[in-house]
Amino acid sequence: MEHKSKYPVSHVVGFFFSLILTFVAVFVALKMNVSYTIVMWIIGSLAVVQAGLQLFMFMHVTEGEDGKTNVINMAYAVFVAIVIVAGSIWVLTSGHAAH
Partner 1 sequence: MGIKWNEIFVGGDPLLVGSQIAIVLTVVAIVVGLTYFKKWGWLWREWLTTVDHKKIGIMYILSGVLMFFRGGIDGLLMKAQTARPEMNFLDAQHYNEIFTTHGVIMILFMAMPFLIGLMNVVVPLQIGARDVAFPQLNALSFWLFFSGAMLFNISFVVGGSPDAGWTSYFPLAGKEFSPGIGNNYYAIALQIAGLGTLMTGINFIVTILKMRAPGMTLMKMPMFTWTTLITSIIIVAAFPIFTVALALMTFDRLYGTHFFTLSSGGSDMLWANLFWLWGHPEVYIVILPAFGIFSEVIATFSRKTLFGYTSMVVSIVGIAFLSMIVWVHHFYTMDAGPAVNSFFSITTMLIAVPTGVKIFNWLFTMRKGRIQFTTAMLWALAFVPNFVIGGVTGVMLAMAAADYQYHNTLFLVAHFHYVLIPGVVFAVFAGLYYWWPKMFGFMLNEKLGKYHFWLFVIGFNVTFMPMFFLGLKGAVRRAYTYSAESGFAPLFLVSAIGSIILAIGFAVFCYNIYWSFRYAKRNVSHDPWDARTLEWMTASPVQFYNFAVVPEVKQLDAFWHMKKRGETLTLKESDIKKIHMPSNSGLPFYMAVVFGITGFFLVFEAHIAAAVAAIGIVIGLVIRSFDYNDGYYVSVDEIKRTERTWRNVEGGTENHVG
CA distance 26 to 22: 6
28, 42 contact by CB (below 8 A): yes
Which of helix, strand or coil describes residue 58?
coil
94 is an interface residue for partner 1 by CB under 8 A? yes
Question: Which of 30/95 has CB closer to partner 1?
Answer: 95
CA distance 77 to 3: 28
88 is an interface residue for partner 1 by CB under 8 A? yes
Site for partner 1 in 42-81 (CB under 8 A): 69, 76, 79-80
Binding-site ranges for partner 1 (CB under 8 A): 69, 76, 79-80, 83-84, 87-88, 90-92, 94-97
